[in-house]
A = this chain, B = another copy of it.
């Protein structure tokens, strides 16, 4: 059963002082339903993606609150999915399964996170719960610390110097912030100089050696939403239709520090991309635009290799030769990515689907990749435990 997107919504991301987890959820849901031209009567199921509601907002059991989106949603099944930073794409996947099962025709997915209700220390601690806590969080590993393991593992495995790493990561930072300048919903509208981004300084301190402040994504509030339906119905309803051609979900070990998986590559993410392309019967050369999980600049570097844009250990070529720039062969994160657009955890995966769908519709939020017909999403949870990739195709 083919599933397509008929409505999208995307909030501003950032420190949204006037918004609560509730208002973000309700507004995104309403906006997506309006865009899809459906009412609560048309919705057969709702999936809500949220990571840290219990800690950030003292709210578990968030899914039933989705009924507040529309009075006609009352009694519609609402489910919360949580898989760390990949909760959003996991919710999209469960929505697709609901349609493919034949139990639902039209499904609303809302991803939401309100992080800035806690101060930095509380946010750091809450995020650390997505690690394997006894061996990671409890032993002082923060998420920058866990991804620093990748940076160190990558340098060691490929004989890469810290200067080379900083030079490469600096270019990734510059690209993210440059792209975000055109995205009205991005959290940061500040350009970065490469010299600044590649250098440790008072304004760009080490967060977790070797990762600097400029290598880290943001603490954000935000929401995104999608209405999905059977492709036949979508075609009847809409002038332009984006199909979800594939979705692959690959789980790898929760812990990175225990040594059971590589630190020089994103093994699970690489496999998820491979499966998503195979299911769509495409290769990476067929993809015109990608939104991927740059929670840290090192993650984006590893993703270039997971996507097959460069040989293992040579990911830097993809940024140095312009491949991943808007106008290049495969623009990566034209939105600015988690690094500059923002990273409201539970919303992030849904945001990626919204951004790619809008690219393929020719209605990009921010920079438009010209004539994009096929796009790819790669959303990662934890330090690489959860990996979900999807190919989207404009089919009408």
Contacts and interface: CB of A to CB of B under 8 A. Distances in A.
A98 B95 CA distance: 10
B84 A251 contact: no
10 contacts: A60-B130, A61-B385, A64-B385, A65-B254, A75-B271, A79-B81, A79-B83, A82-B82, A97-B100, A100-B100
A183 to B, nearest CB: 28
A317 interface: no
Contacts of A253: 64, 67-68, 74
Interface string A70-105: 000011111111111000001001101110111100
Contact of A61 (B94, B96, B386): B386
Contacts of A386: 61, 63-64, 78
A317 B136 CA distance: 55
A250 interface: yes
Nearest to A1: B101
Given A51-B60, A58-B138, A100-B101, A90 B79 contact: yes
A252 B78 CA distance: 9
Nearest to A386: B64
Given A64-B386, A98-B101, 8 more contacts: A22-B134, A58-B138, A61-B254, A61-B382, A64-B252, A76-B251, A77-B250, A78-B83
Contacts of A100: 97, 100-103
Given A64-B254, A76-B251, A54 B57 contact: no
A251 B133 contact: no
A1 to B, nearest CB: 8
A80 B78 contact: no
A110 B81 CA distance: 15
A84 to B, nearest CB: 4
A101 B95 CA distance: 11
Interface of A: 1, 22, 46, 51-55, 57-61, 63-68, 74-84, 90, 93-94, 96-98, 100-103, 126, 129-134, 137-138, 249-254, 268, 271, 381-382, 385-386
Contacts of A68: 253
A133 B79 contact: no
Across the A-B interface, the 9 shortest Cβ-Cβ residue pairs: A77-B249, A64-B385, A100-B101, A61-B84, A61-B130, A64-B254, A60-B129, A78-B251, A97-B101
A391 to B, nearest CB: 15
A132 B58 CA distance: 9
Contact of A381 (B61, B103, B254): B61
Among A67, A75, A76, residue most surrounded by chain B Cβ atoms (within 10 Å): A75
A60 B80 contact: no
B132 A65 contact: yes
B80 A82 contact: yes
A129 B249 contact: no
